[in-house]
Amino acid sequence: MMRALDLAEAIEAGDLTPATVLELSLEAIEVREADIRAFAHLDPDRARVMARHIPGTDGLFGLPIGFKDIIDTADLPTGYGSPIYAGHRPAADAPIVVMCEATQGLTLGKTATTEMAYLNPAPTFNPHNPKHTPGGSSAGSAAGVAAGFMPLAFGTQTGGSVIRPASFCGVAAMKPSYRLLPVQGVKPFAPLLDTLGLFGARVVDVAFGLAAISGRDLRVDGGDFGIPRFGVTRLPFAGEAERESEEALAHAIAALGTAGFPVADIDLPAAFADAHHAHKAINDFEGATSLLWEYTHRRDQLSPVLLQAIEAGRAISIAEFDRSRSLANRARKASHALFDDVDVVLTFSAPGLAPGRESTGDARYNKLVTLLGLPAVNVPGWRDSVTNLPVGVQVFGAFGDDQRVLAAAAMLEAALAKTA
C-alpha cells in the first residue's frame, strides 16, 4: 500500500516529487485496475498535468486522492453509482474537493460507489480475493487504497460505509465526528447521518490526511497522547459476531494488554440500544426523501434493492421518524457519561469476513456510532488464518474527540504490529 505520511515526508525531503508519486499510483492502477475496478472515472493525463503544477511543499504534498463518486466534481463526471446520472457533470466541486486541492492534494479520480451509496453492489472486487466484496458503499475507495492505487481516498458513511469496507479490505479509515468535514456537494442519502470519511494505509496516514485537509490538530505521528483507557463492548443489541471478528477483537484486547494499556469491559447506556434500533427509521425515511425525484421521475432506472428501500422508507410514519430522532438525541446525551470512565471504546468493525460479491456486508456494528455522530476508526492488522482475509476492529470515542480516537487507534495498530 502507499503510505501517505511516508510519501509526504519523502516529497518534503526532495526524494520524490508529486509527479513521481503519481506515476507509482498509475503503475499500480495499470497492473491491477482491470481486476479490481476501483474507479468510476480516472483521467491519468489530467492528473499528470495537475501534478506538474503542485509544488509539493506543504499540506498533502501533491499526493493523489480518490473521491467516492457521490462527491461532486465540476471537471470530472459524477455518476452517483446510478445509470440515472451516467455522465452527469455537476456545476461545482464539493467543498471537500476544493479543500484538498487548496492544500496541495491531487484529484486522481472518482472511486466506485454502490448505487446512490446504498446497498446495490459496486462493480469493485476485494483486492484480497476477487470472490469477496470490498464492502460498501465506499467500495472503490477502500479497495483502491488496499490495492496501492492511491494513498488516500474519501468515502462516506450513513450506516457503516467507511468502517465496514475498511475492515473487509484491510485498510485504516476514519469516520470523523458529525460535520467535522463538510458534506455540501455530496449526494445526500440521510442528511442526519451522512458523514465523510477517509481511507489510508495506516491510522497515522489517515490522521495526517485529515489534519492537512481540515486544518485541525489531528496528526498522531509523534507527540505524547498519554495512555488511553480502553473500554470494550460487543454492542450486544446488534447481535452476535462471527468467529473471525470475535478472534480479531480478542487478539486486539490481548495486544493492548501486552502493550500495557488498561482495557475494561463496559456496559453501554440503555439509551444506546434504542438508538441502535432507531437508525433504520431515520436512514430509510430520509433516504426515501432524498431520492424522491429519482423515485418519481426515473423509477425504472432504480435497482430493485434501492426501490425496495425507498418504498420501505415511504412506509415509515412521521411519528416513528420523530420518535427515532428523539431516541437518537437521548443517546447522544447519554454518551457523555460513558466517556467519564473510558477514553475510547473498542468493538467490532463488521460482523465477520467480507461476504461474497452479491452483498456489501452488514453495517450493524456501525449504525449506532454513525447516528450518535461519534468519531470512529477501523484499525487493520489481523487476518483470518483460514482464508487469509483481513478483519479490522473499531475504536470510537466522544463527539469532537477525534484526535484522541486516532491516537488510541494508532497505539492499537502499533500493538497489533508487534504481535504479528
Burial of residue 215, with CB atoms counted within 10 A of its CB: 0-12 exposed, 13-18 middle, 19 or more buried? exposed
Least distance (Å) between residue 398 CB and its own copies: 12
Please tell me whether residue 102 binds its own copies under the rule CB under 8 A.
Answer: yes
Instruction: List the 230-232 sheet strands across, edge first.
Output: 39-42, 106-111, 64-68, 152-157, 195-200, 172-175, 376-383, 390-397, 344-348, 230-232, 263-265
Please tell me whether residue 261 binds its own copies under the rule CB under 8 A.
Answer: no
- List of residues 6+ apart from 236 with CB closer than 8 A: none
Q: Which is nearer to its own copies, 151 or 188 (CB)?
A: 188
Q: Which is nearer to its own copies, 74 or 259 (CB)?
A: 74
Please tell me whether residue 347 binds its own copies under the rule CB under 8 A.
Answer: no
As a whole number of angstroms, the distance between CA 385 and CA 293 comes to: 47
Q: Which is nearer to its own copies, 297 or 418 (CB)?
A: 297
Burial of residue 334, with CB atoms counted within 10 A of its CB: 0-12 exposed, 13-18 middle, 19 or more buried? middle
From 12, 15, 35, 322, residue interacting with its own copies (rule: CB under 8 A): 322
List Cα–Cα distances, 148 to 24, 166, 236, in angstroms.
9, 14, 35
Helix axes 402-419, 243-259, angle to 10 degrees: 90
Q: Contact 146/182 with Cβ under 8 angstroms?
A: no
Q: Which stretch binds its own copies (CB under 8 A): 10-18, 137-145, 209-217, 302-310?
A: 209-217
Q: Tell me, by CB under 8 A, how many residues bind its own copies.
A: 36
Q: Contact 139/113 with Cβ under 8 angstroms?
A: yes
Q: Which is nearer to its own copies, 85 or 382 (CB)?
A: 85
From 137, 161, 290, 360, residue interacting with its own copies (rule: CB under 8 A): 290
Q: Which amino acid is at 120?
A: N
The C-alpha cell at 127 is 483486492
Q: Which stretch binds its own copies (CB under 8 A): 21-29, 88-96, 149-157, 253-261?
A: 88-96
Q: Contact 229/339 with Cβ under 8 angstroms?
A: no
Q: What x/- string results for residues 381 through 400 when contact with its own copies is judged by CB under 8 A? A: -------------------x
Please tell me whether residue 418 binds its own copies under the rule CB under 8 A.
Answer: no
Please tell me whether residue 34 binds its own copies under the rule CB under 8 A.
Answer: no
Q: What x/- string results for residues 138 through 177 when contact with its own copies is judged by CB under 8 A? A: ----------------------------------------
Please tell me whether residue 293 binds its own copies under the rule CB under 8 A.
Answer: yes
Helix axes 304-314, 270-290, angle to 10 degrees: 110
Q: Contact 41/109 with Cβ under 8 angstroms?
A: yes
Q: Which is nearer to its own copies, 147 or 198 (CB)?
A: 198
Q: Which is nearer to its own copies, 150 or 291 (CB)?
A: 291
From 26, 94, 316, 344, residue interacting with its own copies (rule: CB under 8 A): 94
Q: How many CB atoms lie within 10 A of CB 417?
A: 11
Please tell me whether residue 300 binds its own copies under the rule CB under 8 A.
Answer: no
Q: Which stretch binds its own copies (CB under 8 A): 3-11, 38-46, 185-193, 272-280?
A: 185-193
From 205, 286, 362, 401, residue interacting with its own copies (rule: CB under 8 A): 286
DSSP one-letter string for 162-198: THHHHHHHT-EEEE-STTSS--TTB--S-TTT-EEEE
Please tell me whether residue 98 binds its own copies under the rule CB under 8 A.
Answer: yes
Q: Which is nearer to its own copies, 24 or 98 (CB)?
A: 98
Least distance (Å) between residue 234 CB and its own copies: 30
List Cα–Cα distances, 310 to 36, 149, 416, in angstroms.
29, 34, 41
- Interacting residue ranges for its own copies, rule: CB under 8 A: 74, 85, 88, 90-95, 97-99, 101-102, 179, 182-185, 188, 191-192, 214-216, 286, 289-290, 292-294, 296-297, 318, 322, 400
